[in-house]
Structure 1
Amino acid sequence: MHQLRLLQKCHGAYRRLSSSANTGPLEILGAHHPTDSFTNVGPSILSKIPLRLHTQPGHPLSTLRSIIESHFPTYSHLSSFSPLVTPFKNFDELSFPKDHPGRSPTDSYYINKNLMLRTHTSAHEVDVFGRGEDKWLLTADVYRRDEIDASHYPVFHQMEGARLFSADKASMKELEEDNEYLERVLEKSNIIIEDIPHISPSNPVQETHDPVHAELVAKNLKLSLNSLILRLFGGAASNAEPLRVRWIEAYFPFTSPSFEVEVFFRGKWLEILGCGVVIQSTLDTASMFYSCSSFFLSTGFYTLYIDVKNKIGWAFGLGLERIAMILYSIPDIRLFWSTDERFLSQFKPGDITTTFKAYSKFPSCFKDVSFWNAVAAPLHENDFCDLVRDVAGDLVEDVKMIDSFVHPKTNRSSTCYRINYRSMDRSLSNEEVNELQKVVVARLIDEFRVEIR
């Protein structure tokens, strides 16, 4: 409980207005929100909401954001959208299937049935397109219930970029010229690109799109992102060793054709981002619901329409932490949340050539917990990880399931998890870890009705 009180004291980002869990409203960013049976967000997550690391000067995530924005100087640069969105906005507006696993409370954080923490920056696509933005970058913190290890964290930062084109002859001619210019620049650069067809039977053009237009847009997407990747990773390429990039077919609910991009960096192929041609229904929704502003004049009621239905465009999304960990050789994603000057002082604004130097490696302390699951409701791994985060916050380095079996006679399922407690900034005493572990076990019994073995 000491760790929970510390989170509250340090950040002051949340306050339960009722002593009973999920019965009183939550205060988030100055507003009160009711809770219900869907509510699954705890103090360790709520404490992160006001921090917005991507806007803190000198922070490596902020530096990376600024460099990407400088590469697209004519785009609108957006970073102030609230993380609270409706499930409709987060999923339905982007054509997510009704049975998509991301909708589940085991995968996403819900304030209540009708309000959640965004799981991706794409939740704001319709808003931005609908207000007439044709070229934009949007950076934000996003939230997903996930495992605990060195590369996963329940809060991370994404940047989304998009560009729209009018689907007419003149605009397509300009697009062709832009593609030719980008091709000339890349041909002179120290980069090898392993490409794939812009459109294929397994990565099809949308029925509502002219195949010629879709081909040009997909090509522009690739050229634009190859140029960005060269900006970010090209500094490590030498005359003898060019930067290598490869494109891979992918599937996303909100783009088609869709692609993933990998970079060969420091001896490994690393996935960098996902992208594709925007699903036209997203633009149709933007026109239908968000493309008008209404006002009264003395003569009556008027509506102004911004038409995005007759446009075609591309979008991409990348994780700032993932790229920063690669560029700076940062080994543990928890470090981005550290306020230790030994971490923060290593990075300078505008510099992506720094190699992180470890300043300490404090000892770890393993604790196992084994239990019989409740018969009616087996415990989901994400629920267990979230409980551990609520109790111990960033004092947990990783959580691993080390055993799972079903009793042959009783048919009861048993699970054993190993929790690795390790601070990035100080040594933890065994007594302190034991107290945290006691809280974990107590909450397991109270909230999930498990039987400790």
Structure 2
Amino acid sequence: FFFDSFVMAWVRRCGQLIVKRAPRFSRFASHTIEQHYDIEGERIYTDDFCNTSTHILNKVGRKLHLVHTHPLNILKKKIESSFSDFQCFDDISPAVSTWQNFDSLLIPEGHQARSPKDTYYLNKDTVLRPHTSAHQHDLLSQGHQKFLVSGDVYRRDEIDRTHYWVFHQMEGVKVMQTADPAEVEADLKRSLEAMVQQLFGDLKAEDMRWVDAYFPFTEPSFELEIMWQGDWLETLGCGIMQQEILQRAGADQNGKCKAWAFGIGLERIAMPLFQVPDIRLFWSENKRFLSQFEDGKISTFQPLVSLKDYPPNNQSISFWVPEGFVDNDFYDLVRAMEFADLVEEVELFDDFTHPKTGRTSKAFHVIFRSPEKTLTTAEVNEYMAVLRDLVVQHLGVELR
């Protein structure tokens, strides 16, 4: 379920496409927007609304949550074991219609949540799902009353150790034969507290707290936080499903049923549980990574070399931006680079509007660090030269 802070970040439509033709520096930026994409056996034709490059789609089909002994798979199985009577759906295509992603969840036309600022569109009517909630209506319409959905989800987002343009979500839905919201809320909280205790150990009552929240698809809505290593950790979001969602799916039995739903980001939980310091490591193809983990066991990640032994290389870039520029335009340009996985973080550190001309300047730190090797200064300088050239070509900025 799309229960997290990102739902509030969908604010406005971004401007132009980032890459529409092969850039001059094809060695590092060969990813383009194609006329069509083949995704999970379906051919999808792009149009001028498409903001999804081939680099983003390279992750489709990896399905880390299905890889045996991968931390995300171990976590997924543990969550599923807490809901043993739920049906599990974990191999649904991430390409969904805008109706599935928005309309079925009561997000109206013109709502800011439909903005391509944070969502990857394949064409005007098709997106890469930014949340597993996109499958709620279909599964409810098919008569499923207790189910879990897990899969890869995609968002245009900031770049740092805890954010990646593709990650994995798991969502649970339970339809109950009652019209009493208090009964539904009690069952929801009892079920999720039991699940979290199974994941994090024998938590005391005072180590868990419920926080009121807002999500457009549930009312009331909550977040469950736990005390973990001396600080409060947000584990999931949840709530009682809006009744109209059930009605549209033909699952409310004339008001005799209500439902609850929850959503959990697998990487968000796996990072503290397995003590993985950088989200990029989940995508490692190094056999030494997966060989550390054992099916059914939560164990501490043991890097052969500490991340701190690979020093960061801090670069910066500043430019005057055109009207309509949003920071995610720049982040997505970085993601389109062949060297994107060598960028640990991109941070906006200065946002200045000239008092006389009204022009806006932005400055970003671009921090390079590989989780698996030391980068040379010559390598990083070459990458930055490419980035400076392409930010002018494709975002229409003026370097400072």
Interval containing the TM-score (normalised by the shorter chain): 0.7 to 0.9
1:307 Cα deviation from its structure 2 partner? 5.3
- Map Cα deviations across residues 46-76 of structure 1 (whole Å, 9 max, x no partner): 0001101000001000000011111211110
Cα distance, 1:150 vs. partner? Answer: 1.0
CA RMSD of aligned residues (A): 2.0
* CA separation of 1:77 and 1:396: change in aligned 2, threshold 3 A: same
Which of 370, 393, 396 is residue 449 of structure 1 equivalent to? Answer: 396
Amino acid at match of 2:149: L
Moved more, 268-277 or 32-41: 32-41
Alpha-carbon offset, residue 221 of structure 1: 0.3
Aligned pairs for 1:291-330 within 5 A: 310-330=256-276
Query: Counterparts of 1:22 and 1:344 in 2: how far apart (Å)?
Result: 32
Alignment of 1:187-198 (within 5 A): none
Matched-pair contact (CA < 8 Å) for 1:108–1:117? yes
Aligned to 2:214: 251
Task: Out of 356-365 and 393-402, give the one that drifted further.
Answer: 356-365
Deviation, 1:450, is: 0.7
Residue 359 of structure 1 and its aligned partner are, at CA, apart by 2.6
* Aligned residue among 63, 67, 78 for 1:67: 78
Match of 2:304 in 1: 359
Alignment partner, residue 56 of structure 1: 67
Which residue identity lines up with residue 396 of structure 1 in the other structure? V
Name the % identity: 44
Taking the aligned partners of 2:108 and 2:197, their CA distance within structure 1 comes to 35
Matches within 5 A, 1:12-411: 22=33, 24-167=35-178, 210=179, 213-234=180-201, 244-287=207-250, 310-352=256-298, 354-360=299-305, 361=307, 362-374=310-322, 376-377=323-324, 379-391=325-337, 392-411=339-358
Query: Secondary structure at 1:261's aligned position in 2?
Result: strand
CA separation of 1:427/1:420 partners in 2, compared to 1, >3 Å: closer, same or farther?
same
Cα distance in 2 between the residues matched to 1:329 and 1:22: 36
Give the number of the structure with larger relative contact order, counting CA–CA contacts within 8 Å between residues 6 or more apart: 2
Q: Which amino acid aligns with 1:430?
A: T
C-alpha displacement of 1:30: 4.0
Distance 1:339 1:308, change over 3 A: farther
Q: 1:343: how far off?
A: 2.2
Q: Specify the structure having the higher radius of gyration (Cα).
A: 1
Give the gaps of 5 or more residues in structure 1: 9-20, 168-209, 292-305
The alpha carbon displacement at 1:22 in A equals 4.5
Matched to 2:50, the amino acid is T
SS at match of 2:153: strand
Kindly indicate whether the alpha-carbon contact (under 8 Å) linking 2:222 and 2:238 is maintained by their aligned counterparts in 1. Answer: yes
Q: Look up the match of 2:372.
A: 425
Letter in 1 for 2:231: K
**2:94·2:129 contact (CA, 8 Å) conserved in 1?**
yes
Aligned mates of 2:248, 2:389 — CA distance in 1: 47
Give TM-score, length-normalised by structure 2. Answer: 0.88
Change (3 A) 1:140 1:243: farther
Runs (5+) with no aligned partner, structure 2:
1-25
Q: Is the 8 A contact 1:71 1:228 kept in 2?
A: yes
Give the residue type in structure 1 aligned to 2:176: F
How high is the TM-score relative to the length of structure 1?
0.78
Aligned length: 371
Q: Is the 8 A contact 1:321 1:333 kept in 2?
A: yes
> CA–CA distance in 2 between the matches of 1:119 and 1:65?
18
1:433 partner letter? V
